[in-house]
Amino acid sequence: MPGAMAKLQGFEFWEKTLKGARYVVAPMVDQSELAWRLLSRRHGAELCYTPMFHAKVFVRDVNYRRDNLYSEVCQEDRPLITQFCANDPEVFIQAALLAQDYCDAIDLNLGCPQMIAKKGRYGVFLQDEWELLEKMIKLANEKLSVPITCKIRVFPEIEKTVKYAKMLEKAGCQLLTVHGRTKDQRGPLTGLANWEHIKAVREAVNIPVFANGNIQHLSDVKRCMEETGVHGIMSAEGNLHNPALFEGRSPPVWEMADEYLEVVQKHTPCSLSYVRAHLFKLWHHTLQIHQDLREDLGKVKNLESLANVSLQLKLRCQEEIAKGVGDPNTSGGLPHWCCQPYVRPPPKEPGSENTQKDSEVKGAKRALEETDGATDSLSKNQQRRQARNPHKNFRAGLKLKYIKCEQCDNPKGNKCVFNLCRACCKKAALKEVADCPGHGMKFKTKALRAAAELENSQISGIQAELPSTPPDQPVAQTVA
């Protein structure tokens, strides 16, 4: 490929194409869309990633490509890296080739720890499949006209993490982002990221390294760079709660909310769910106090209404400031109406029963466990669901056995006249011009109706062509 030889690599790529970017907005599903990226760039971000795209869907669905990347082309939005999740080298390359003209690099997601990633076999759940990853990155490095980068999570062992990073570098990765948490550190078990792992990777590889994890303030950015020696800092949650993080400011929330909504208006269409999610995170601390508006923010159905709820929150905060009302909800000494990080609560100690509510929940679980022996083999979650819906059946052996369609493996319709599934029934009914009441197919009825309408129109046409008959003259004489 002619362009592949000319593309920049490693530090040259970071310095020239990415302009030595140090402050980076992370790829976030449904959250790092164009409007948010532009807002972040206004307030100190030097490099942004797109949300994570599913490579298989990106290749298959032209609407998915248009809605998620092609329609978001903007000169202000550079440098930009597009991220994909994938587990098939050929599919990954096809998706990357479709995206490479709209960005400055392609990133392979090897860090997503969510259950949907486990089910789809991508993200961090590929971190043990080194042969596959090596093949994917090598192919991308050979075929693409832009560099290939990776975002990873660490192994519990520093040595294995370093070996992993060096394998990716050798395969052709030109920039590595290291999230200092393991695969199991997510949700209530998130905990702190380990910067020692990041430092060890930085010292072991000869490509630029970005650090991710524990970034809540600009002071954290500077401290992480000093302690690890990385070339850039990536922020996800910290950026969502304070898009001015890289400026070292904690502005009033309404300042960021108003500016974000203004950008959204200029760069439509932007999914309402994205906007709502951003407002929930920006106003997180204030919504703990004004619970009624939290409910309103979740219910409204258009952008104008979302903006109106944000305005009400702004007015309430300004009223509190004017009255000098004390702020009972502070984080790091900041009032609730200032942009500030969300501090995730630590997991509860096993066996702790701190509140009456906890005891009630445990009592409810115990009551479920003490029901008749029919629920013994069900999980606690299944027992709770069955308590809400007594007819719910979780036992595979007792589930109804469906009769298969005579032409495929799908279940046949119970009332199908052809003993077929809906898709096969439609083909059969169309071919035989027949009806199937069970599947609502009415090809025969429609054909008869169309024939009747045609016959009626022909009769009407003949009657229209007949000469008019005088009232006093017999029809037979007129015809004669």
CB 204 within 8 A of CB 178: no
Can you tell me the distance from the alpha carbon of 340 to that of 342, in angstroms, rounded to the nearest whole number? 7
Strands 441-442 and 435-436: antiparallel
Query: Alpha-carbon torsion 303, 308, 311, 312, what sign?
Result: negative
Task: Report cis status (omega within 30 of 0) of the bond before 2.
Answer: no
CB 155 within 8 A of CB 185: no
Strands 80-85 and 105-110: parallel
CB 280 within 8 A of CB 253: no
Catalytic member of 85, 112, 150, 173: 112
CB 279 within 8 A of CB 256: no
Residue type, 477: Q
CB 31 within 8 A of CB 278: yes
Closest CA to 199 of 175, 224, 171: 224
CB 251 within 8 A of CB 339: yes
Closest CA to 316 of 341, 291, 280: 291
Q: What is the Cα Rg of the chain in Å?
A: 31
- Helix and strand element counts for the chain (H, E): 22, 10
Can you tell me the distance from the alpha carbon of 318 to that of 321, in angstroms, rounded to the nearest whole number? 5
112 has catalytic annotation: yes
Catalytic residues: 112
